[in-house]
């Protein structure tokens, strides 16, 4: 009660009334002190004018970038010209450094989200980083930037901001194209390092594909993201076939006939279809190859990540396989029989995920699809 009375009286004092309550008068003086002290913080007129000019430049630039962005979205021209992007990047950086106090703006743009004023600066800064890095460094950077785009899409999804998702997705698509091109050019001196790099890229892309699917599942209607997921799987397949036995030049030249690229191109559609409709976990044989040392290498594709243990039998012999998000690779001593029986079993519940017979010609070391026990279909053997 006393406090309310004090509050009322304090209002009168603060409005200029006289009072004998010294404590409240002192509080009024404290309030005055806060006001006068804060007023000492000021900026010169010249600086304010400079800020105004900067704002006008920013407004013009922002309007241009919004127009560009909208044109790109609505015309579906997502493939930005690299040189133009670099030019834009330098303009943004130069203006921000000159006008907004320099490094601070670029630093502040690190937290920018699609649709924010500083978002184009963030993207431009990434381009500059790529420009300054070597090709192998570019791969790492691009993967990090793509992770960042996914994070942005997740935040935008939480905010129900479809336009924001579009913007982040557009940038993600660009970076996906860049990394695909880059992977055909990077030639590490050490082949082991090259394999490791490819494996890392593949793993990261698979993780990203899963995140993309999660965004897609929860959003429900993001057709564009579905398309991106499809593109994602295709990229993984391309990388995978590159990891098998293709030279980088062959990928670059589109010469993929020795790994059954036609099938690889068909498979993502099947995977996509399974993911969208049944959502039942399934495995299909992608390739069965024989090496000169008499070893077999089998590639399976899975329509989702398998958390449990998977067992693979070849003519009744069990083999250890390495699995990642959407693929399974097995290697071992090849049976001498022309007929090979391949079984994939879910150890958790003992169910058969794949039961397939294939014919392997001893003359030309090719493998042929014979029968598909669980009706998966379309995964015949491949020449190698």
Interface residues toward other proteins, by CB under 8 A: 3-4, 6-7, 10-11, 14-16, 26-28, 30-35, 37-43, 48, 51-52, 54-56, 58-59, 62, 100-101, 104-105, 108, 111, 113, 117-118
Note every long-range contact of 249-257, with CB atoms under 8 Å and residues 24 or more positions apart, other chains counting: 251/183, 251/184, 252/184, 252/185
Reading the block at residue 118, the tokens are 């500083």
* Closer residue to other proteins, CB minimum distance, 13 or 328: 13
Per-residue DSSP letter, 118:
T
Closest distance to other proteins from the beta carbon of 49 (Å): 8
Nearest CA to 115 among 177, 172, 151, 165?
165
Instruction: Name the 3-class secondary structure at 193.
Output: helix
- Please report, to the nearest 10 degrees, the dihedral formed by the alpha carbons of residues 264, 265, 266, 272 taken in order: 100
Helices (H), 79-190: 82-99, 103-108, 119-132, 135-158, 162-183
Closest distance to other proteins from the beta carbon of 37 (Å): 5
Helices (H), 220-353: 223-244, 248-252, 261-276
Closest distance to other proteins from the beta carbon of 42 (Å): 6
Closest distance to other proteins from the beta carbon of 144 (Å): 18
Who's near 240: CB < 8 A, 6+ residues apart? 202, 264, 299, 327
Closest distance to other proteins from the beta carbon of 55 (Å): 6
* Closer residue to other proteins, CB minimum distance, 17 or 277: 17
* Closer residue to other proteins, CB minimum distance, 22 or 223: 22
* Closer residue to other proteins, CB minimum distance, 43 or 223: 43
* Closer residue to other proteins, CB minimum distance, 14 or 279: 14
Closest distance to other proteins from the beta carbon of 306 (Å): 34
Burial class from Cβ neighbours inside 10 Å (0-12, 13-18, 19+) for residue 208 reads buried
* Closer residue to other proteins, CB minimum distance, 4 or 190: 4
Only one residue has tokens 């062959």, namely 250
Query: Cβ atoms within 10 A of the Cβ of 125, count?
Result: 21
Closest distance to other proteins from the beta carbon of 111 (Å): 4
* Closer residue to other proteins, CB minimum distance, 107 or 131: 107
Closest distance to other proteins from the beta carbon of 57 (Å): 11
* Closer residue to other proteins, CB minimum distance, 103 or 132: 103
* Closer residue to other proteins, CB minimum distance, 151 or 269: 151
Residue 21 and residue 3 in contact, taking contact as beta carbons nearer than 8 Å: no
Nearest CA to 209 among 124, 111, 344, 327?
327
Give Cα separations from 352 to 80, 181, 291, 348, 380 (angstroms). 47, 39, 27, 11, 19
The DSSP element (H or E) to which 352 belongs, if any, is strand 352-360
Closest distance to other proteins from the beta carbon of 307 (Å): 30
């Amino acid at each position: 009660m006393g406090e309310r009375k004090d509050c009322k009286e304090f209002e009168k004092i603060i409005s200029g009334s006289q009072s004998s309550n010294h404590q409240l008068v002192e509080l009024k003086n404290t309030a005055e002190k806060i006001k006068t002290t804060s007023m000492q913080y000021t900026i010169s007129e010249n600086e304010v004018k400079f800020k105004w000019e900067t704002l006008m430049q920013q407004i013009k630039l922002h309007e241009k970038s919004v127009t560009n962005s909208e044109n790109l979205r609505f015309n579906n021209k997502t493939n930005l010209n690299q040189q133009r992007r670099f030019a834009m990047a330098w303009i943004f950086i130069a203006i921000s450094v000159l006008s907004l106090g320099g490094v601070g703006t670029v630093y502040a743009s690190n937290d920018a989200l699609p649709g924010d004023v500083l978002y184009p600066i963030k993207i431009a800064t990434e381009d500059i980083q790529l420009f300054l890095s070597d090709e192998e460094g570019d791969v790492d950077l691009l993967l990090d930037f793509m992770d960042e785009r996914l994070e942005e899409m997740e935040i935008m999804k939480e905010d129900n901001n479809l336009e924001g998702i579009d913007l982040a997705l557009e940038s993600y698509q660009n970076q996906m194209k860049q990394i695909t091109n880059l992977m055909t050019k990077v030639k590490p001196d050490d082949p082991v390092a090259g394999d490791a790099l490819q494996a890392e890229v593949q793993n990261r892309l698979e993780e990203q594909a899963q995140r993309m699917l999660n965004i897609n599942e929860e959003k429900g209607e993001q057709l564009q993201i579905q398309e991106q997921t499809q593109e994602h799987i295709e990229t993984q397949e391309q990388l995978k076939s590159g990891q098998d036995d293709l030279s980088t030049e062959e990928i670059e030249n589109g010469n993929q006939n020795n790994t059954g690229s036609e099938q690889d191109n068909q498979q993502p559609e099947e995977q996509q279809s399974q993911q969208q409709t049944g959502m039942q976990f399934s495995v299909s044989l992608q390739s069965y190859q024989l090496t000169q040392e008499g070893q077999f290498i089998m590639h399976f594709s899975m329509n989702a990540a398998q958390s449990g243990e998977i067992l693979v039998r070849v003519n009744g012999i069990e083999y250890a396989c390495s699995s990642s998000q959407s693929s399974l690779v097995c290697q071992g001593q090849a049976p001498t029989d022309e007929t090979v029986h391949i079984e994939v079993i879910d150890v958790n519940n003992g169910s058969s995920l794949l039961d397939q017979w294939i014919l392997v010609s001893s003359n030309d070391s090719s493998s042929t699809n014979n029968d598909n026990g669980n009706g998966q279909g379309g995964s015949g053997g491949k020449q190698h």
